[in-house]
């Protein structure tokens, strides 16, 4: 069987048009990501392109991981040399090799948001800025936006002439950047900006990567910012074998500098681009899809897209407004419990989505009370916990003693009698002498103001030197063990003996596990490599795939994912759309962005969608009263069921509905989607061809990459069989039979 028969005609065009620029602009669930993975397989298997020449970029680690898995299961040998990664990790890889050409050490540190904040605090103190009037966070936001737009501190200063506020920001930006450089560190935005700089100014490096990446693909292209656009443009220039896929209706990162014009103007940048539209949705039932279409139709200035589906109407969308957020959470927990009890769904099929992180607490409480296992994506990230950060800071100092923040964090942890005053003196001395903090500490004896405190610093410096030797001679996990033993970190927690201390010890154990598994899974494990992997773990990575728990996350984190049973909670005007967007000067624009987020939320659902809201909710300690979200009212009424809006006259659902929407709805009723779908499906006439398999469940099979294993399950996925195999070495994998090319043994 031809591997690509499971694709529709438009998808095939996306896969087979390998040369020149290609833009795939299509709605949610239309198989954009699927086209990308098949395209990679096609390039290698049919066009004989070496995996080494291929790059596929996406936004989250989770998405990159899923893409990697899909590609691995399609092609055997060599898939590991394809770059399948996020923008950030691709850039780290490039910079680890060539950052020295920008005057950094190749072992530079990556600062997370917390680190940047600490640094900014310090800068404001040094520059004597009144942080009550000029907030640190504002400076950081301004700097981040400048970096996303590739504006250097010098350019920023140029543009600021004559503007008092901006001049101050320029001064802070310059100082912030200088300090990062002195610490041999980059923040997240630098990773992209510095790579662009490198590619722009170093012809050798540019030629090297242009030659290497002969085929480039970008998923979720609608959310790229100017710096990311420039990066892709530079890498692809010359051959221009660039395939980008995205959906302008799902652009939700304007606040991080995403520039929707990157996708809308793609054809202007690349006039010879092949533009492909995908219109069949394979993810959701017709009711869910029509609800999403109904909502997004209210945005102006969008490229009109018509999505249809072959799947039936499915269940109606269930909507309920509750008196309080408490009742809302209670309902969701009970609904999930009941469905799992009836074996309709497993916990892992269910996702609860919300607008802001704070909404999770109430939901969590109810889930705990109902004994429902759940995981929060984006809650307190494991790597942000104190004990984990402390130990990682030790490792950072061992790796790169130029990182002042890490040094400051641990110099007196555990207590060594080195007080803030001594640290301040050493840090002032470092500043004056143009040294980094650790270098200053190494010369503590020479710092006149330190006096006797110098004697306390020497053992700390010796300790770090000792750790370096351990790391070089015995490796990473030995290093971590040595740090734990020598600092007495765990001992101290044991003495403390509280539940909290116990939880911290468990987190440390988890970190040890992480280091050991990193060492086992990596060909050449290094301390820098480990720290880098840790720094890049987005919150979403805490999601495992064993499917045994309900997932809670913000709508932003849900992009690209899909679940059979989805709950959209907190659908209230003032919360979603947010009060800020409703009252903003450019309210129309802001609300359109929120509406796109709503579209993303609705389209995550495959089979069931439940929408809930509360009249009364506590926010930042204040009780607030909200009406039903305007987005709910934009869903055609015939798609909705449930105890909805009747109890309170002021919430009358339909009287507020604008006339134009009613008309739209009437039009929809005249041409029912099911009929359109049926006709379109007939017109399509895709041939279904599927070879039978020569192995069955329980048989032993062999895969080129994963080796031998036992077939656990075979599902008829329509156009192809989906085979689940428990491999002896590689564990359980699910793959398409035609790609997997399994041989019975
Ligand atoms: N031709 C096809 N035949 C069968 N299933 C398909 C086909 N194309 C896509 N799918 C399935 O439809 C679902 C959605 O596909 P995919 O995630 O690639 O869509 P997408 O366009 O990337 O969505 P999003 O906009 O949300 O990122 C997946 O479960 C995918 O396996
Ligand atoms: Mg996708």
Kindly state if the Cβ of 33 falls inside 6 Å of ligand 1. Answer: yes
Q: What is the mean pLDDT of residues 441-463?
A: 91
pLDDT of residue 414: 86
From the CA of 63, the nearest ligand is 2
| Ligand 1, pocket-test mutation among 70, 282, 560, 605, most atoms within 8 A of CB | 282
277 CA → ligand 2 middle, Å: 14
In this prediction, residues 643-668 reach a mean pLDDT of 39
Contacts of 482 (CB under 8 A, 6+ apart): 466, 467, 470
Contacts of 521 (CB under 8 A, 6+ apart): none
| 620 C-beta neighbours (distance < 10 Å), count | 6
User: pLDDT tens-digit profile of 537-563?
Assistant: 544 444 455 558 899 988 988 888 899
Q: In sequence order, what are the residues at sequence separation of 6 or more whose Cβ sits closer than 8 angstroms to the Cβ of residue 601? A: 353, 555, 558, 566, 568
SS3 sequence, 665-722?
A: HHHHHHCCHHHHHHHHHHHHCCCCCCCCCCCCCCCEEEECCCEEEEEEEEEECCCCEE
Q: Is 629 annotated as a binding residue?
A: no
- Give yes or no for residue 574 CB within 6 A of ligand 1: no
Query: Catalytic residue among 220, 335, 390, 590, which?
Result: 220
Which mutation among 283, 288, 289, 305 tests ligand 1's pocket best, with the greatest number of atoms within 8 A of CB? 283
Q: What is the pTM of this model?
A: 0.72
- 3-state secondary structure at position 85: strand
Ligand 1 atom 1, closest CA: 7
Provide the token pair at 626. Answer: 């909200």
| Rounded Cα distance, 121 and 116, in Å | 9
User: 16-49: per-residue pLDDT in tens?
Assistant: 999 999 999 999 999 999 999 999 999 998 999 9
Q: Is 560 in the pocket of ligand 1 (CB under 6 A)?
A: yes
Question: From the CA of 283, how far away is ligand 1's center (Å)?
Answer: 6
* The one catalytic residue among 32, 39, 62, 504: 32
Which atom of ligand 1 is the closest one to the Cα of 30?
A: 21
Ligand 1 pocket member 6 (CB < 6 A): yes
**628 DSSP 8-state letter:** B
Residues 200-231: tens digit of each pLDDT: 999 999 999 999 999 999 999 999 999 999 99
CB 736 within 8 A of CB 730: no
Tell me the per-residue pLDDT of 260-289, one tens digit each, with 9 for 90 and over.
Answer: 888 888 999 999 999 999 999 999 999 999
Q: Is 277 in the pocket of ligand 1 (CB under 6 A)?
A: no
Smallest CA separation from ligand 1 atom 18, residue: 31
Q: Is 220 a catalytic residue?
A: yes
523 Cα: distance to centroid of ligand 2 (angstroms)? 30
**Atom in ligand 1 nearest the alpha carbon of residue 281:** 12
The pair of structure tokens assigned to 206 is: 């540019």
- CA distances for 325 relative to 359, 555, 570, 612, 740, angstroms: 9, 18, 8, 9, 48
**In whole angstroms, what is the distance from residue 691 CA to residue 738 CA?**
8
Ligand index nearest the alpha carbon of residue 10: 1
Q: Which of 141, 146, 144 is nearest to 157 (CA)?
A: 146
Q: What pLDDT shows up at residue 384? A: 67
219 given a catalytic annotation: yes
Please give the Cα distance from 244 to 233 (Å, whole number): 11
Q: How far is Cα 530 from Cα 534, in angstroms, rounded to an integer?
A: 6
Confidence check: pLDDT of 685 > 70? no
Per the CB < 8 A criterion, the answer to whether 300 and 592 are in contact is yes
Catalytic residue, candidates 58, 86, 195, 250: 250
Question: Which of these is catalytic: 179, 194, 425, 604?
Answer: 604
Is the minimum distance from the CB of 8 to ligand 1 under 6 angstroms? yes
Q: How far is the CA of 216 from the centre of ligand 1 (A)?
A: 20
**Cα 356 to averaged position of ligand 2 atoms, centre (Å):** 23
Looking up tokens 């590619």, which residue turns up?
A: 199
Q: Is 33 a catalytic residue?
A: yes
Catalytic residue among 3, 33, 169, 177: 33
- Helices (H) and strands (E) counted in the chain, each on its own, are 31, 23
Residue 718 labeled ligand binder: no
**pLDDT of res. 647:** 44
Q: Is 88 in the pocket of ligand 1 (CB under 6 A)?
A: no
Which amino acid residue places its CA nearest to atom 30 of ligand 1?
31
| Cβ neighbourhood burial of 451 (10 Å; 0-12, 13-18, 19+) | exposed
Confidence grade of residue 644 (pLDDT, cut at 50, 70, 90): low
Query: Which ligand is the nearest neighbour of the Cα of 309?
Result: 1
CB 32 less than 6 A from any atom of ligand 1: yes
Q: What is the pLDDT of residue 130?
A: 85
417 phi/psi in degrees, rounded to 5: 75, 20
In angstroms, the CA 530 to CA 394 distance is 13
Rounded to an integer, what distance in angstroms lies between the CA atom of residue 173 and that of residue 184?
A: 16
Q: Is 496 a catalytic residue?
A: no
The CA-CA-CA angle for residues 410, 454, 483, to 5°, reads 30
Distance, in Å, from the CA atom of 445 to the CA atom of 599, rounded to the nearest integer, reads: 63
Whether the upstream peptide bond of residue 414 has omega within 30° of 0, thus cis, is yes
Fill in the DSSP letter of residue 575. B
pLDDT digits (tens, 9 = 90+) for 690-720: 457 888 888 999 887 778 999 988 887 655 6
What does the pLDDT read at residue 595? 96
115: its two tokens: 């680190």
Residue 683: the pLDDT is 32
65 annotated to bind ligand: no
Ramachandran quadrant class, 415 (left: phi over 0; alpha: psi -120 to 50; beta: rest):
beta
Contacts of 414 (CB under 8 A, 6+ apart): 487, 488, 489, 492
Whether 620 has a pLDDT exceeding 70, the answer reads no
CB-facing half-sphere around the CA of 29: CA atoms within 13 A: 30
Is 115 an annotated catalytic residue?
no
Instruction: Pick the residue whose CA is nearest to atom 23 on ligand 1.
Output: 29
Ligand nearest to the CA of 283: 1
Mutate which of 10, 13, 34 for ligand 1 pocket (most atoms within 8 A of beta carbon): 34
Better-scored residue on pLDDT, 361 or 655: 361
Q: Which ligand is nearest to the CA of 26?
A: 1
What was the pLDDT predicted at 39? 95
| CB burial string 394-413: b at 16+ within 10 A, e below | bbbbbbbbbbbbbbbbbbbb
Residue 280 CA, closest ligand 1 atom number: 8
Beta carbon of 89 within 6 Å of any ligand 1 atom: no
pLDDT digits (tens, 9 = 90+) for 135-191: 888 999 999 999 999 999 999 999 999 888 899 999 999 999 999 999 999 999 999
**How far apart are the CA of 39 and the centre of ligand 2, in A?**
14
pLDDT digits (tens, 9 = 90+) for 52-96: 999 999 887 777 888 888 888 888 777 888 999 999 989 999 999
Residue 622's pLDDT band (cuts 50, 70, 90): low
């Amino acid at each position: 069987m031809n591997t690509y028969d499971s694709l529709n005609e438009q998808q095939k065009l996306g896969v087979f048009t390998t040369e020149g620029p290609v833009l795939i602009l299509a709605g949610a669930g239309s198989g954009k990501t699927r086209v990308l993975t098949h395209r990679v397989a096609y390039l290698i298997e049919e066009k004989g392109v070496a995996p080494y020449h291929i790059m596929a970029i996406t936004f989250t680690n989770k998405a990159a991981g899923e893409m990697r898995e899909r590609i691995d299961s399609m092609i055997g040998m060599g898939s590991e040399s394809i770059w399948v990664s996020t923008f950030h990790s691709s850039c780290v890889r490039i910079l680890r090799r060539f950052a020295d050409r920008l005057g950094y050490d190749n072992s530079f540190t990556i600062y997370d948001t917390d680190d940047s904040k600490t640094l900014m605090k310090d800068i404001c103190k040094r520059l004597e800025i009144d942080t009550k009037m000029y907030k640190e966070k504002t400076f950081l936001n301004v700097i981040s936006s400048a970096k996303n737009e590739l504006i250097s501190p010098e350019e920023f200063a140029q543009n600021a002439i004559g503007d008092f506020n901006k001049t101050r920001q320029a001064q802070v930006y310059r100082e912030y950047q200088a300090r990062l450089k002195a610490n041999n560190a980059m923040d997240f935005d630098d990773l992209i900006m510095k790579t662009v700089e490198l590619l722009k100014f170093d012809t050798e490096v540019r030629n090297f990567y242009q030659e290497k990446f002969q085929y480039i693909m970008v998923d979720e292209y609608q959310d790229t910012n100017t710096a990311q656009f420039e990066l892709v443009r530079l890498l692809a220039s010359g051959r221009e074998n660039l395939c980008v896929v995205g959906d302008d209706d799902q652009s939700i990162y304007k606040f991080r500098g995403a520039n929707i014009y990157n996708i809308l103007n793609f054809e202007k940048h690349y006039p010879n681009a092949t533009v492909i539209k995908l219109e069949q949705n394979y993810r959701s039932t017709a009711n869910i899809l029509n609800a999403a279409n109904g909502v997004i139709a209210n945005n102006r200035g969008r490229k009109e897209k018509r999505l249809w589906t072959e799947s039936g109407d499915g269940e109606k969308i269930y909507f309920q407004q509750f008196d309080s957020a408490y009742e809302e959470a209670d309902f969701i927990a009970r609904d999930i419990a009941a469905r799992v009890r009836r074996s309709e769904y497993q916990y892992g099929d269910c996702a609860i989505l919300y607008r802001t992180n704070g909404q999770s607490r109430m939901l969590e409480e109810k889930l705990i009370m109902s004994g429902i296992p759940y995981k929060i994506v984006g809650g307190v990230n494991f790597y942000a916990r104190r004990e984990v950060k402390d130990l990682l800071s030790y490792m950072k100092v061992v790796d790169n003693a130029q990182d002042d923040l890490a040094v400051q964090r641990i110099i007196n942890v555990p207590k060594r009698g080195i007080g803030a005053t001594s640290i301040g003196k050493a840090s002032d001395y470092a500043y004056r002498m143009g040294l980094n903090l650790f270098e200053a500490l190494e010369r503590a004896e020479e710092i006149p103001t330190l006096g006797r405190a110098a004697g306390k610093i020497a053992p700390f410096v010796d300790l770090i030197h000792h750790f370096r030797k351990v790391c070089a001679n015995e490796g990473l996990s030995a290093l971590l063990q040595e740090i734990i033993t020598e600092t007495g970190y765990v001992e101290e927690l044991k003495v403390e003996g509280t539940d909290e201390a116990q939880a911290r010890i468990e987190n440390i154990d988890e970190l040890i596990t992480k280091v050991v598994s990193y060492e086992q899974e990596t060909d050449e494990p290094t301390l820098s490599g480990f720290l880098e992997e840790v720094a890049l773990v987005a919150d979403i990575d805490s999601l495992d795939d064993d499917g045994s728990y309900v997932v809670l996350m913000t709508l932003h984190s849900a992009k690209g994912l899909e679940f059979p049973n989805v709950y959209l909670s907190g659908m209230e005007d003032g919360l979603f759309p947010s009060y800020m967007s409703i009252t903003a000067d450019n309210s129309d624009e802001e609300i359109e962005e929120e509406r796109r987020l709503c579209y993303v939320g609705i389209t995550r659902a495959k089979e069931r969608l439940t929408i809930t809201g509360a009249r009364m909710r506590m926010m930042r300690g204040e009780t607030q009263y909200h009406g039903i979200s305007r987005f709910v009212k934009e869903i055609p009424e015939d798609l909705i069921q449930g105890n909805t809006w009747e109890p309170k006259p002021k919430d009358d659902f339909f009287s507020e509905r604008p006339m134009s929407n009613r008309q739209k709805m009437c039009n929809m009723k005249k041409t029912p989607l099911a009929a359109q779908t049926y006709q379109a499906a007939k017109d399509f006439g895709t041939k279904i061809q599927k070879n039978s398999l020569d192995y069955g469940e329980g048989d032993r099979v062999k895969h080129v990459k994963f080796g031998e294993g036992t077939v656990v399950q075979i599902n008829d996925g329509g156009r192809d069989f989906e085979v689940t195999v428990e491999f002896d070495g590689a564990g359980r994998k699910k793959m398409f039979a035609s790609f997997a090319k399994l041989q019975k043994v």
